[in-house]
Amino acid sequence: MRVSEERLHPSLQNQIIKTLAQTLVDLKDLEEAETFLRSFFNENELETFAKRLSIAYWLKKGRSYTNIKQNLKVSSATIASTQSLLNKTGVLLAIKKIEAEEWANVWAEKIKKFAGRL
């Protein structure tokens, strides 16, 4: 799909971004969200966005450029451009959500193990 080089009027741009955001919020679960993403984006677009989020998360966790390059098959330039996003509110919010989910999963496993011993 080729996107026009012409810029939208700022109010229309704001409206359509809010519509996309609301659509994402309205998806009821992980399965619906994944179905939407796989249907809406082509494979390359989806992988690009997923890698960008992974790069940001791994940088925040302290992984090296070399480790990220090897695992995600991205360039140093891609990592650097993603690193510049780490001070953006939305990116920090997304990383915080990932960390919260990770924390919840760790504690859920600990509770299962503890409950199994009772």
Which structural domains are found in the chain, ordered by start? Answer: 41-117 (1.10.1270)
pLDDT of res. 1: 59
Residue pair 86/56 in contact by the 8 Å Cβ criterion: yes
Tell me the HSE value of 14 on the side-chain side, using a 13 A CA sphere. Answer: 3
- Rounded (5°) CA angle 60-63-67: 145
Residue pair 64/76 in contact by the 8 Å Cβ criterion: no
Q: Please report, in tens digits, the pLDDT of each residue of the chain (118 residues total).
A: 566 678 899 999 999 999 999 999 999 999 999 999 999 999 999 999 999 999 999 999 999 999 999 999 999 999 999 999 999 999 999 999 999 998 888 888 888 778 777 6
